[in-house]
Amino acid sequence: MKGFEIMAEEYVLPQKVIEKFKEELRELRTTGRNDIAEKIKEAKSFGDLSENSEYDEAKSDQAKLEARIAEIEYTLAHAIVLDESALSTEMVHTGLSVKVYDRTFDETVVYHIVGAPQANPVDNKISDESPVGKELLGHKVGDVISVDIPTGVDEIEILEIFKD
């Protein structure tokens, strides 16, 4: 359609994370694919494929492997290298950590603001695309922000911004 443009996602990632993705991709493309090919070959040797659970499992594993390869390729194609040495702790940016006081839940929390592929809420690594991460970006120590959450509005005060 004329005038319609699909915007590709961009992921801000440190060089060390990009290198980890590249290594995982190399491993999946070589060893991973070879291992799956062996499983499929072995499963085929068991005979009738229509009732061969080993073959079905191997094909399922192959699909998962190829999906992961595609996911990493997409991430790398849309990655922007984060220059960690140039980060200032005067305001919140991707790649920094933020100590906040959550007024709604009366607790102090440290969030690590990361690109979406690195996000892991269990480890307090929140994506710069998440509601909290997005709201924190660009703010300074002492700022109080409001974040829409499923249970209402969460008020968060920025206590400290630092590099890990």
Partners of residue 94 on adjacent β-strands: none
Q: What are the structural domains, with CATH classification, of the chain?
A: 11-82 (1.10.287.180), 85-162 (3.10.50.30)
Number of H helices, E strands in the chain: 4, 7
Predicted TM-score (pTM) of this structure: 0.68
Ramachandran region, residue 106 (left: φ > 0; alpha: ψ -120 to 50; beta: rest): left
Contact criterion met (CB below 8 Å) for 24 and 72: yes
| Helix axes 53-77 and 33-44, enclosed angle (nearest 10) | 160
Kindly state the average pLDDT of the residues 64-68. Answer: 96
Dihedral pair phi/psi, residue 47, rounded to 5° = 105, -145
How far is the C-alpha of 153 from the C-alpha of 136, rounded, in Å? 14
What tens digit of pLDDT does each residue of 24-36 get?
999 999 999 999 9
Phi first, then psi: give them for residue 120, nearest 5 degrees.
-155, 90
1 pLDDT band (50/70/90 cuts)?
very low
